[in-house]
A and B are shown apart, each in its own frame.
Chain A
Amino acid sequence: MTITEQIQQRVREALAPEHFELVNESYMHSVPAGSESHFKAIIVSGRFEGQGRVQRQRTVFAALGELTGRIHALTMKTLTPAEWREAGGAVESQSPPCLGGSKADG
């Protein structure tokens, strides 16, 4: 299973997301072609109810477990279903450009 598939599986199992987008943005960074190092995710889940931003990202990282250490970066938007509806079912998520300073780990 690819890292992309593993992330998808773990997020689906742990967070039962109402909406989930995962984009492998590794091509934007100074890593070999075909890498699975940099990702962007939009996750809409009821599990985020009552959690602040920091706690939501910790929830996602906890779901990923040791996978977290195998990827370099994960840009996230974490919303509750109510926030997602309020946002009209779309959020903007623009990852910062890579500056190429560190090719290993986060």
Chain B
Amino acid sequence: MSPDLKARIENDIKSNKIMIFMKGSRDFPQCGFSAAAVDVFNRLGVDYETRDVLADMDLRQGIKEFSNWPTIPQVYVDGEFIGGCDIVREMFANGELEQVVSKALGK
């Protein structure tokens, strides 16, 4: 991974409390797993930022290396990798995600 890409990812997860690397956009997700991830945050009613890995092949590969995680979507809260679709949905279902997000947003 190029130092430039690494710096870009680090900047993204640092400057956005909730950062989602996904396929497509929040309005037009291109994969059911990515759609499920943004749906969770929409339901929480919190602000978040997304990057479309389909529009950037370097990012698509680089984020997998960066996170040591082979699939998309990937969710970061407060600079920390919290997981992909399965984990985010599970944490939403048991209320854990709301706690983590509230803490990150300082609510």
Contacts and interface: CB of A to CB of B under 8 A. Distances in A.
Interface in B48-77: 54, 68-72
What is the interface of chain A mostly: helix, strand, loop, or mixed? mixed
B9 interface: no
Given A57-B83, A75-B86, A76-B86, A101 B71 contact: no
Contacts of B70: 61, 68-69, 106
A97 B41 CA distance: 18
**Tier of interface size on chain B:** 20 to 34
A63 interface: no
A97 B24 CA distance: 15
B13 to A, nearest CB: 15
Interface in A47-106: 53-54, 57-58, 61, 68-69, 73-77, 95-102, 106
Interface of A: 53-54, 57-58, 61, 68-69, 73-77, 95-102, 106
